[in-house]
Amino acid sequence: MKTGFKDIDSNIKLNNGELIVIASRPSIGKTTLALNILSHIALKEKKGVLFFSLEDSEENITKKLIISNSMIEKEKFDLYNQYKEEKIKKPEISEDDWDRITYGIELLKDAPMYLSTEAPLSIDDICKKSKKMKQEKNIEAIIIDYIQLIKFDKKKLLSRDNEMTEILRRLKVLAKELDIPVIVTSQLSRAPKERDSKKPMIADFSTSKCGITRYSDKILFLYRDLDYTENRKSDIVELIVAKNNDGNTNTIKLGCLPEYCKFGNTIVFLEEENG
């Protein structure tokens, strides 16, 4: 199974039975990357994906998916939505833009994407729903955004660090049991802001560092240069492969297209910038 990004796919694969962690500081793009991967698996590979969003609404997730797949700017889609809700007169959007939006909406209608935006959810809830969806819809991947929001059974009276370790263990067991990849996003601590080198490291996980290294098969960090300065943010995001059980660790560059809720391969991205 692939992510849809040429440079990533030439370095790593989303193998069945694996637990893959995508981590960063807030607002770097881990949810965007997770949604881009969701789109590729469901729309290009035609495989069912169960997406748990423990922070965002189904409406917002769907909006981001339409924007990224129709390649329409957020502002134009918001105008389209307001017009459809009869809040404004028909906006001055080109026919091509209308066609793009219509295409994006139609594309998602029958796509094997299954969104779960109930919150809060416990690890028991996630495992139960995942097994049900595997049986009923034959899902072939699970994506969870994000792990720190997963609840645990308080009756067991564990520390949060031990809770997170147990959650990671359960997710790894789930991946093996269903024989599909499980991708989970994770927040990092503020540690990168406190040192000269801002690039994330495994030590930057706020909880359960041992659990993450023990149970994950791949750890991917997102890092955007200049994000910690007063200058504008860089248009290039680095995806740092910090752990890879079946390959090399290295750094992959992606183009950042926030107005389209999307990342792009850097070669294509640079050609568009220069064109």
**Where exactly are the structural domains of the chain?**
6-56+113-274
Nearest to 181 by CA among 54, 44, 68, 41: 41
- Asked: is 6-56+113-274 a CATH 3.40.50.300 domain? The reply is yes
**β-bridge partners, 115:** 51
Per-residue pLDDT of the chain (275 residues; tens, 9 = 90+): 999 999 999 999 999 999 999 999 888 899 999 999 999 999 999 999 999 999 899 999 999 999 999 999 999 998 888 888 878 888 888 899 999 999 999 999 999 999 999 888 999 999 999 999 999 999 999 999 989 999 987 676 678 888 899 999 999 999 999 999 999 999 988 887 777 778 888 888 877 677 888 999 999 999 987 554 555 556 889 999 999 998 888 999 999 888 999 998 865 433 344 44
Q: How far apart are the first and last CA of the chain?
A: 32
- Please say whether the beta carbons of 108 and 101 come within 8 A: no
Write down the pTM of the prediction: 0.89
Nearest to 142 by CA among 152, 130, 125: 130
C-alpha dihedral, 159 to 207 to 38 to 76, nearest 10°: 110
- Please say whether the beta carbons of 202 and 159 come within 8 A: no
Distance of alpha carbon 120 from alpha carbon 141, whole angstroms: 21
